[in-house]
Amino acid sequence: MKSARFTHAMTSSTTTPETTQVRGACPHDCPDTCSLVTTVDNGVAVRVNGNPAHRHTDGALCTKVSRYAERSYHPERLLTPLKRSGPKGSGRFEPVGWDEALDDIAQRLKTIAARDPQAILPYSYAGTMGLVQGEAMAGRFFHRLGASLLDRTICASAGGEALVQTLGGKVGMKVEHFARAKLILIWGSNSIGSNLHFWRLAQQAKRDGARLVCIDPRRTETADKCHEHIALRPGTDAALALALMHQLIAHDWLDHDYIEKHTLGWEGLRERALQWPPERAAEVCGVPVQQIVDLARDYGTTKPAAIRLNYGMQRVRGGGNAVRAIACLPALVGAWRDPAGGVLLSASGHFPVNRAALQRPDLLAGRAPRTLNMSTVGDDLLRDASPTFGPRVEAVIVYNSNPVAVAPESGKVVQGFEREDLFTVVLEHFRTDTADVADYILPATTQLEHWDIHSSYGHTDVLLNRPAIAPVGQARTNTDIFRALAARMGFDDPCFADDDLTLCRTAFGDQVDFQRLLDVGFATLPLPDAPFAHGNFPTASGRCEFFSERLAARGQDGLPDHLPNFESIGSSSQFPLAMISPPARNFLNSSFVNVTSLRDIEGEPLLEIHADDAASRGIASGQMVRVFNLRGEYRCKANVSKRARPGVVNGLGIWWRKLGPSGTNVNEVTSQRLTDMGGGPVFYDCLVEVAPLHEDA
Ligand SMILES: Nc1nc2c(c(=O)[nH]1)N[C@H]1C(S)=C(S)[C@@H](COP(=O)(O)OP(=O)(O)OC[C@H]3O[C@@H](n4cnc5c(=O)[nH]c(N)nc54)[C@H](O)[C@@H]3O)O[C@H]1N2
Ligand SMILES: Nc1nc2c(c(=O)[nH]1)N[C@H]1C(S)=C(S)[C@@H](COP(=O)(O)OP(=O)(O)OC[C@H]3O[C@@H](n4cnc5c(=O)[nH]c(N)nc54)[C@H](O)[C@@H]3O)O[C@H]1N2
Ligand SMILES: [Mo]
């Protein structure tokens, strides 16, 4: 057996065969942010494992990321820059040299910027969560250019805004303390699929006698393993939360001392909650009254009680209000007093990231470009210039995202990107659906090939990622591509010379011990175990704000309420089924769909449908169906399944369009409407009809 040692530098090929191990961080958009150990054999990454020394990772990875080497060396990895050689969207490209590509791109951008730089739009999300390969050099580039700003709403902005308005930030319980809770509500989250390391803590609590309740319209693998599953209708969580409050009040399961000292707006909330007896909520949620009554009793009488809220429940019109209602619950029962009580939706607000130093908004130098919402990219690409909108979008630079597959109402997104007069550059690992409609595709490095530094939204450790191997093919880091473009644009500000290790150091400044990151790969933020045991919420009032003056000042309801979906069940006879499209376990959004071993596990795009809904439409399990509404249609295989509740179909996502049966995916039918707070998308607020597809159709 070869001996392995940790290396602090990339192994260059040496004369003697050698095996080294390199510490890194999982870059994916997942709350777990795992610490990785990559085994490198003569410059080749042969294995990616979970780091046993990092307590949150505990030596284990999910199936997807344990295939990270397979993904990085995938035969379809982009190895050279490509230039379009056929009509837009034809998928015909030819290889070109880096200099030719960068010169041409810079020239095109200069010409547009001379008219109005706001006609250029960056489009990015969390393909990597790295603070350096994410918005560091890219932010500097677009700020210096004066391009349109992008509101990055596609995932978490409704819930994020709701937390800010209630708790004062994206803050909450420390995840490790869930292991000691006696009641855990897993609310709007399929932990086994999308937050596996949290699930390990929940199981530990379960073994120690905790009761686990899953609140989710879909009977997920997580719901299967909880004591109770509350299969409410999509978008009815606020009604459930208000009914729980009703019962807490009716039975006086309240912590009056905590409410008095550490909350704001109790009288108003009390009055609001009293309008929600369990019978009313049961009607709205489509669940038995008894389930609500029992849940309220458990929540009111079990200590410590913890809520693992997740983003699945805020992808509906009232997503922000729902998160606000749920985030109020722990204060009512004083759950925050115990480290194992409270709520966790996101921990990202605990991290002292110096975003201004990384992204340098000061390079705008007084200019105030318009902001476009990434969730309405379909409409925005099709909009003409106007005094309210500003200039027509003439160029889009996409990195760390695959909008053609993941953005709502893809019919319009595709139409927008296929505009002959739009100049599109895509930085990618693969020929995604978005890369297919580009003018230039630039090959980017993966996490095994670059430096980065990471915060997390599911735990409170900072992680450093070292490159383990040399870039594959001619791939370049995102940072390097933006540096090279900056040079060609004539941006000579010294900040464009910062290298990636400097950017890693800049992210946290002296707030984190960088030497420790270099030595062991991760560092825990020094935070109290029960951050809100004595109030101290990071709100203006220092209290948990049941009533939000800021929301009221904007003309919104200052108290949380139930807002019915835009497309709620029963509101259309033409489209009677509510469709949700949660992630498939073996994909990460649209990443990994092209990794054969993972795609083989998922098989093909499936629509889970309840037996009654299938029978009344003459649909048999395994049959191809059309899923449609006025926005569009996609095709997939029906899976008559107990995982679907009556009236709700589950279209598991997010497949690459070109790998689906009709070259489309679930987002053909989702809408571009926005949530009550944060301007987020409403992927799970979507009515459809489903019909069997016969062979000759
Ligand atoms: N394997 C895997 N892991 C992932 C991802 C992935 O694609 N695959 N995506 C990552 C990303 S980007 C994110 S944002 C996180 C998301 O993290 P979570 O939000 O925990 O993600 P999901 O597993 O999608 O859980 C959402 C659950 O919400 C349910 N749901 C849908 N509508 C409602 C509703 O109205 N109310 C309630 N109560 N539940 C509802 C869905 O059925 C689904 O089971 O996961 C991350 N982790
Ligand atoms: N219907 C429906 N739609 C959804 C959702 C849903 O639940 N249902 N979920 C939504 C959510 S929660 C999210 S977060 C979004 C996610 O949407 P996106 O953030 O677009 O996520 P991915 O689809 O994973 O695409 C990320 C892309 O970035 C690329 N990438 C990764 N690392 C790098 C890098 O270092 N450099 C470069 N240049 N590229 C890189 C990957 O190859 C991948 O193609 O999708 C949303 N869309
Ligand atoms: Mo997300």
Closest CA to ligand 1's atom 25 = 189
User: Are 503 and 583 in the same domain?
Assistant: no
Q: Which of 304, 327, 345 is the last residue of a domain?
A: 345
Q: Which of 345, 374, 400 is the last residue of a domain?
A: 345
Residues 21 and 7: their CA atoms lie apart, in Å, by 6
> Do the Cβ atoms of 686 and 571 come closer than 8 Å?
no
542 within a domain of the structure (yes/no)? no
64 within a domain of the structure (yes/no)? no
Query: Mutate which of 194, 221, 648 to test ligand 1's pocket (most atoms within 8 Å of Cβ)?
Result: 194
pLDDT confidence tier of residue 96, bands split at 50, 70 and 90: very high
Please tell me the pTM assigned to this model: 0.96
User: In this prediction, what percent of the chain has a pLDDT beyond 70?
Assistant: 97
176 is written with which tokens? 């490790």
> Taking ligand 3, which is a single-atom ion, which protein residues have CB atoms under 5 Å away?
155
**What is the structure's pLDDT at 435?**
97
Residues 325 and 558: their CA atoms lie apart, in Å, by 11
User: Are 145 and 169 in the same domain?
Assistant: no
439 within a domain of the structure (yes/no)? yes
User: Are 409 and 504 in the same domain?
Assistant: yes
**What is the structure's pLDDT at 4?**
52
Any idea what the CATH number is for the domain that residue 486 is in?
A: 3.40.50.740
565 within a domain of the structure (yes/no)? no
Average pLDDT estimate for 429-457 = 98
62 within a domain of the structure (yes/no)? no
424 within a domain of the structure (yes/no)? yes
Q: Which of 326, 345, 364 is the last residue of a domain?
A: 345
**What is the structure's pLDDT at 7?**
60
User: Are 634 and 661 in the same domain?
Assistant: yes
User: Are 361 and 402 in the same domain?
Assistant: yes
User: Are 124 and 225 in the same domain?
Assistant: no
User: In this prediction, what percent of the chain has a pLDDT beyond 90?
Assistant: 93
> Do the Cβ atoms of 477 and 450 come closer than 8 Å?
yes
Average pLDDT estimate for 267-277 = 98
Which atom belonging to ligand 1 lies closest to the Cα atom of 311? Answer: 19
For the Cβ of 190 lying below 6 angstroms from any atom of ligand 2, the answer is no
Any idea what the CATH number is for the domain that residue 316 is in?
A: 3.40.228.10
Residues 399 and 482: their CA atoms lie apart, in Å, by 11
Any idea what the CATH number is for the domain that residue 631 is in?
A: 2.40.40.20
> Do the Cβ atoms of 562 and 235 come closer than 8 Å?
no
pLDDT confidence tier of residue 16, bands split at 50, 70 and 90: low
> Do the Cβ atoms of 620 and 638 come closer than 8 Å?
yes
Closest CA to 580 of 669, 494, 490: 669
pLDDT in tens, 434-444: 999 999 999 99
18: pLDDT strictly greater than 60: yes
**What is the structure's pLDDT at 9?**
47
600: pLDDT strictly greater than 90: no
- Which structural domain range is residue 674 located in? 577-692
Average pLDDT estimate for 1-11 = 50
Closest CA to ligand 1's atom 16 = 311
76 within a domain of the structure (yes/no)? no
User: Are 515 and 592 in the same domain?
Assistant: no
- Burial of residue 16, with CB atoms counted within 10 A of its CB: 0-12 exposed, 13-18 middle, 19 or more buried: exposed
Which atom belonging to ligand 2 lies closest to the Cα atom of 670? Answer: 1
Q: Provide the 8-state DSSP code for 383.
A: P
Residues present in the chain in total: 697
CA of 654 to the centre of ligand 1 (A): 12
pLDDT in tens, 134-173: 999 999 999 999 999 999 999 999 999 999 999 999 999 9
**What is the structure's pLDDT at 12?**
44
292: pLDDT strictly greater than 80: yes
Which atom belonging to ligand 1 lies closest to the Cα atom of 236? Answer: 35
**What is the structure's pLDDT at 597?**
87
Average pLDDT estimate for 461-466 = 98
- Closest ligand to 315 CA? 1
Average pLDDT, whole number, for the chain? 96
User: Are 316 and 462 in the same domain?
Assistant: no
Closest CA to 320 of 152, 540, 561: 561
The number of domains in the chain is 3
> Do the Cβ atoms of 258 and 331 come closer than 8 Å?
yes
For the Cβ of 583 lying below 6 angstroms from any atom of ligand 1, the answer is yes
User: Are 273 and 220 in the same domain?
Assistant: yes
Closest CA to ligand 1's atom 5 = 588
Across 352-366, 580-594, 673-687, least confident range: 580-594
Closest CA to 401 of 372, 430, 371, 370: 430
Could you tell me which residues come within 8 angstroms of residue 210 by beta carbon, excluding any fewer than 6 positions away?
Answer: 181, 182, 183, 184, 202
**What is the structure's pLDDT at 13?**
43
Chain CA centroid to CA 202, Å: 22
> Do the Cβ atoms of 450 and 500 come closer than 8 Å?
yes
CA of 191 to the centre of ligand 1 (A): 8
Average pLDDT estimate for 587-591 = 91
> What type of residue is 460?
T
CA of 27 to the centre of ligand 2 (A): 12
Query: Mutate which of 216, 649, 687 to test ligand 1's pocket (most atoms within 8 Å of Cβ)?
Result: 216
- At 83 the three-state DSSP class reads strand
pLDDT confidence tier of residue 694, bands split at 50, 70 and 90: confident
32 within a domain of the structure (yes/no)? no
User: Are 338 and 368 in the same domain?
Assistant: no
> Do the Cβ atoms of 425 and 104 come closer than 8 Å?
no
User: Are 479 and 601 in the same domain?
Assistant: no
Average pLDDT estimate for 591-615 = 92
For the Cβ of 311 lying below 6 angstroms from any atom of ligand 1, the answer is yes
**What is the structure's pLDDT at 5?**
63
521: pLDDT strictly greater than 60: yes
User: Are 356 and 336 in the same domain?
Assistant: no
Residues 231 and 238: their CA atoms lie apart, in Å, by 14
CA of 236 to the centre of ligand 1 (A): 16
**What is the structure's pLDDT at 227?**
98
Which atom belonging to ligand 2 lies closest to the Cα atom of 447? Answer: 35
> Do the Cβ atoms of 25 and 128 come closer than 8 Å?
no
Could you tell me which residues come within 8 angstroms of residue 386 by beta carbon, excluding any fewer than 6 positions away?
Answer: none
Q: Provide the 8-state DSSP code for 208.
A: T
**What is the structure's pLDDT at 325?**
98
